[in-house]
Amino acid sequence: MSDNLTKTPPPLPRKENLKQRAYLNSVTSFIDYAGAQIVGFIVSPFIVNGLGSSFYGIWQMLSQMTNYAGMADTRATQVLKWSIANKRDVAYDEELKSEVTTALVVTGLILPIVLVVGGIIVWYAPYITQADKEHYNLIRITCSFLVLALVISKVFNLFESVLRGMNLGYKRMGLRAGIVAVSGGLKVLAITQGYGLVGLSIIEVFTAVIIGTTFYIIVKQNIGWFGFGTTNFSKVVSYGKLSGWFMAFTGSKMFLLHSDKIILGYIIGPIFVTKYTITMFTSYALQGLVNAVITGVIPGIGSLYGRGEYHKVIQARKIIISLNWLLATCLGVTILLLNRSFIGLWVGEEHYAGTFENLLIILVSIQIIFFQIDSLIINVTLNMKKKVLFSSIASLLTISIAYFLVEKYLIVGLCISILLGRAILTIGYPFILKEKMQEKQHDFSLSIIRPSITCCIFFLIAAYSSQWIDLTNWLQLITAGVVSVLFIGVLYWRIGLSTEDRIDVWKILSNIKLFKKEGKGI
């Protein structure tokens, strides 16, 4: 960064309603995720029936496997997002432009390595997916297009990072969902016309280009300072080092969160991947819905952290956790009760993994939801060393346990290995945050464990009761789902949350103006 940039006095803090923007960002993330899930709900039966159980499992493995090319990515766009979130109230516009340019340079330098890693994945994909020899070329062509889609997304992520860093994610409200809907329609067309795996992968490339172009247009229209400034070698090196920690975390995170289908398919075959994926559909929807709330709120927390208001960060985290327990419990119980009926009506009960498997998959999703809260807040601090250490240990432990359990216990073995391995993060991340926030209190009062204990009791009752629930039409299922969510939500609000937690959550929710919009861009 040049001396001129360091000496220029920062502008006055930009005025923004953090609560309102958190709400708008969360709504945007919710619309995006809900749109993706609705499209997945409509499109998946076509893909399952069109490809068959084995090739559908291979498609899921390839989609997950391709992400491993991203391990070579320095995640400069992630550093950009959190840097802007941290500095936007205190940095001058030229410094923010310099951040954008530096991120672009670092991303450009690393793309050739991403392509090389992607090429290696493409070559070995047929062996990992256990495909028959006559399908090797098909698998490699499909994987090649998926790697290309990943590379395109990496470049265009720069614009999304700027938008999110400025806490303006809501400016894209509904656009991604619309593009995904069009993409889903094209996938149905590709499957019904017999284009199979290759057709699906080409549509992924098309979707990446359209979404990226859309983000660029939105950023240009809503962020007045956006552009490219000056950078220098020392800043690129500094950014690269910080990005390197994000890359290290990305690698460990990849093994941690994106290896389950690969492990399952490689050890016991892609048909089990299909059962696992189908049973996980509703749990994954729950995870995405709750994470949408987190993702929308965190950039605002980044602004608080940047101003050194640690007590407000701690309070915001406490409220997010309470709200997430409420959402996770009422939706989780509903999934436990109705998932077998849902899958039977959706794609056929033969794709349902089982009651105990369903319970374990829900617990895996809940576990991710809660350590993801602390993970995103740690990203804001830009201090990644301990986070990388914990996630690496968790990844190694998860894969090691899975190696011994999956072959004998199948999906149950996979879920148990995930829960045990990721427990490192469930325990470790809060301690990292307490250190960063200079929080001295380490109490384990009833009010802290009450939400989790109540949730577990509700889950066990629901899993046991699900054996006698067999709904035969969509009207019954939707009615039961709505009643279950509302009833469990009210019950958990009274039983699972303390009076203080209810007051804090209600205070935040009541201050949100549902139809109030923020003004023009910055």
Rg of the chain on CA atoms, in Å = 23
Mean pLDDT across 361-388: 78
pLDDT exceeds 70 at position 386: yes
Higher pLDDT, 143 or 168: 143
What average pLDDT does the structure give for the chain?
Answer: 80
Report pLDDT for 438: 63
Q: Is the dihedral of CA 363, 364, 369, 373 positive or negative?
A: positive
Residue 173's alpha-carbon distances to 28, 31, 430, in angstroms, are: 5, 7, 32
* Rounded-to-integer distance, Cα 337 and Cα 334, Å: 5
The more confidently predicted of residues 37 and 43 is 43
Q: Distance of CA 131 to CAs 56, 127, 144, Å?
A: 12, 7, 16
Q: What is the mean pLDDT of residues 475-489?
A: 94
What does the pLDDT average to over 452-480? 92
Q: What pLDDT score does 7 carry? A: 46
pLDDT the model gives residue 515: 43
* pLDDT attached to residue 57: 92
pLDDT for 414 equals: 94
Lowest mean pLDDT among 25-39, 369-383, 386-400: 369-383
Q: Which of 76-80, 182-186, 268-272, 343-347 has the lowest mean pLDDT?
A: 76-80
The residue ranges of DSSP E strands in 216-290, in sequence order, are none
Report residue 73's pLDDT band, with 50, 70 and 90 as the boundaries: low
Instruction: For 276-321, write each residue's pLDDT tens digit.
Output: 999 999 888 887 777 766 655 555 565 666 566 667 777 777 888 8
Polymer length in residues for the chain: 522
- To the nearest whole percent, how much of the chain has pLDDT over 70? 76
> Which of the four pLDDT bands, split at 50, 70 and 90, describes residue 19?
low
User: Dmax over Cα atoms in the chain, in whole Å?
Assistant: 71
The residue to which tokens 């020899």 are assigned: 133
pTM of the predicted protein model = 0.75
Choose from 7-11, 162-166, 379-383 the range with maximum mean pLDDT: 162-166
Closest CA to 421 of 259, 278, 294: 259
On the question of pLDDT at 211 being above 70, the answer is: yes
The pLDDT tens digits of the residues spanning 229-254 come to: 777 777 776 666 555 555 666 667 77
HEC profile for 197-211? HHHHHHHHHHHHHHH
* DSSP 8-state assignment for residue 91: S
Distance CA 3, CA 474 (A): 65
Residue 521 has pLDDT above 50, yes or no: no
Q: How confident is the model at residue 434 (pLDDT cuts 50, 70, 90)?
A: confident
pLDDT value at position 142? 95
DSSP state at residue 450: H
Span 86-134, pLDDT tens digits = 666 666 667 777 777 887 777 777 788 888 888 999 999 999 988 889 9
For residue 193 the two structure tokens come to 């016309």
E strand map for 136-286: none
Instruction: Report d(CA 398, CA 416) in Å as an integer.
Output: 9
Q: In degrees rounded to 5, what are phi and psi of residue 417?
A: -65, -35
Contact (Cβ atoms closer than 8 angstroms) between residue 456 and residue 436? no
| pLDDT tens digits, one per residue of 398-428 | 989 998 999 999 999 999 999 999 998 888 8
Domain spans of the chain, in order of start: 7-510
**CA 297/CA 340 separation, integer angstroms:** 33
